[in-house]
Each structure stands twice: as structure tokens, then as C-alpha cells.
Amino acid sequence: MIPHIHGLHHVTAFAGPAPENDAFFTGTLGLRRVKTTVNFDNPYVYHLYFGDEVGTPGTVMTHFPDRKWKQGHRGSGEVAVTSFSVPRGSLDDWEARLKGATRIEVFGEAQLRFPGPDGETLALVECDDDREPWRALPKTMGIRGFHSVTLMIADPRPTLDVLTAMGYAEAGVEGTTTRLTMEAPVGIIDVMAAPDVAKSVEGAGSVHHIAFATPNDETLLDVREAVIDAGLKPTEVRDRNYFHSIYFREPGGVLFEVATLDIGFDADEPVETLGEALKLPAQHEPLRGELVNTLEPIPNLTLE
């Protein structure tokens, strides 16, 4: 049993050029860029966080955008679909707004599937969700946060076992997809069996990892011990400034992170101006001059 997991915390993907990435997630999808920083493990690449007003866990899609990335190839061992929650009755407005959207129904819920700027598959699911959307779009259509993610896994049993150990329970099967749920603000994960699908190749549009929420450092250490007891290999605890994390790869190939809920994006700037200044962790502050000259300009960002 891996304790203290409270649903999804964030989803992180590779992306193409930063201006296009920013324009799509803030402009088209109407999320707020709540943090502009760099990949702590590769500071020459941005790390852009998009979510609700404060970047509440469960709303935050993050990207490592880089013009140098080739587009990834979808396949098994990765996240196939990242789904956001939108109000009932809003799909007509979204369909008019999005290019290439297809309306389908999954586990009884109407949704629009559409390609993101790097060919990734995104979805908007109509459901009851009283979370407050960011104010960029009318409240009648604004994204509430994540609805779920869909993992595409060649041999799903070991993945389902890990998720069950993390507190998820099987809630239904539709075709080749098993739905797992837990009591949490974002408590749905779908696992699609794809035994004949070639392994994914990472690139722009590929989800790098999904992060699960845990309350604090103490519970994170408990999670880490339990992950080791489950025969998996977690990293040491990493300081991500806005949360503390561990990472481990689940048996189906998807990188899982477990991130704490107790810090937040207002740790180094006020809520009113979140995302408008380049924020660097202390270890990369000496690179600021160089980064200001090499990172691509994006709107509403003071590079200084």
C-alpha cells in the first residue's frame, strides 16, 4: 500500500516553441500562466506552468517548450490523452473555438478531443465541477482544471496494480480502457490496454510525467518508503521550490512524480502578478544574465 496519495497534482509535457505554447494554453484554452521559470534539470529551457488563478494542484499543466524539439511519436508507455474539465453545455462554444475537434463520449461523459499545438491529444470533458476557472474566458466555458489522464500501456496489469496500491479503485471498463478512481479533486485515471501499439518516442507533445498530490514532506517520505517496498525505484526528494517531489517509473513506462501540496506558486511572487517575471531557483540565479539573452521572448514576461 502506497499511502497519502490525493489524486493528480500536475501534468508536465515537452512542447515546441515557447511563444506558440504560451499562446495556446493562455489564449486558446484560457489558462493563467502562473509560473515562468526554467527546467531545474536543464535551465536553458523554460518551464511554463498554466493553471487557475493561483495554480491550485489539479489544475496545472506545465511544459518544457523548446524550438529544438522534434515532434514526439504517440505510442504505448505514455500518457495518450490529457483531459480538462469544462461546464456542462459548453462544448458547442469550445468546438467553434478549437481546430480539428471531435465530439465523443467516454464513460458516459461528452467530450471534445482535439490536437494541441504539438500534435498531442487533449480533451475537454463536460461534467459537474465547482472549481473556479481563471477569468480569461466566460465562466460558462472556462476550464476548471484536470478531469483525468489516459495512459496507454502495452501490458496494463502491473500499472493497474501500482495505481491500486496508490489508493485508486477500478470503477469500470469500456472497450480496452479501465477507469480507476479515488476520492480527490482530480481522482480519475484511465488505463488503455495497447498490446500491439509501438512504444512511444519522446519529443514535443509528449507528456514527460504526471504528478500525484501528497500533503507534505512527512507524507512524501512515507510514500517514498512505500514505493521502495513495492519494488519500484524512487529518486531522492527534490526541491522544486513550489513543491517537493520524488519520481519513479511505473512498470508500464510512465514516469510518476509525487509532489507536496503545502508550498504553492506564491512562494516567490504575489498572486496578482504570478508568471509575469522570470523566476529562477537559487542554484540557477547565477545564469540569469545568460538566460535573459537566450530564452525566447514570450508575452507578459519581464526578462530581467
Catalog residues that contact Zn ion under the rule CB under 5 A: 12, 211, 257
Task: Give the three-class secondary structure for 20.
Answer: helix
Amino acid present at 97: R
Smallest CA-to-CA distance from 212 within 61, 49, 60, 5 is with 5
CB of 257 to Zn ion, least distance (A): 5
Count how many Cα atoms sit within 13 Å of the Cα of residue 205 in the half-sphere of its side chain.
19
CB of 149 to Zn ion, least distance (A): 13
Per the DSSP assignment, residues forming a β-bridge with 267 are none
Q: Which is nearer to Zn ion, 118 or 257 (CB)?
A: 257
Q: Which is nearer to Zn ion, 129 or 257 (CB)?
A: 257
**CA angle, residues 262, 267, 273, in degrees to nearest 5:** 125
Q: Which is nearer to Zn ion, 18 or 193 (CB)?
A: 18
CB of 39 to Zn ion, least distance (A): 10
CA–CA separation, 297 and 281 (whole Å): 20
Whether residue 213 contacts residue 58, with contact meaning beta carbons closer than 8 Å, is answered with yes
CB of 225 to Zn ion, least distance (A): 21
Q: Which is nearer to Zn ion, 9 or 144 (CB)?
A: 9
Q: Which is nearer to Zn ion, 62 or 177 (CB)?
A: 62
Q: Which is nearer to Zn ion, 250 or 257 (CB)?
A: 257
289 C-beta neighbours (distance < 10 Å), count = 10
CA–CA separation, 30 and 25 (whole Å): 6
CB of 210 to Zn ion, least distance (A): 8
CB of 209 to Zn ion, least distance (A): 6
Q: What does residue 256 show for φ and ψ, rounded to 5 degrees? A: -100, 140
CB of 215 to Zn ion, least distance (A): 17
Q: Which long-range contacts (CB under 8 A, 24 or more apart) does 192-195 make?
A: 192/80, 192/150, 192/151, 192/152, 192/153, 192/156, 193/153, 193/154, 193/155, 193/156, 194/75, 194/76, 194/152, 194/153, 194/154, 195/154, 195/155
Q: Which is nearer to Zn ion, 37 or 83 (CB)?
A: 37
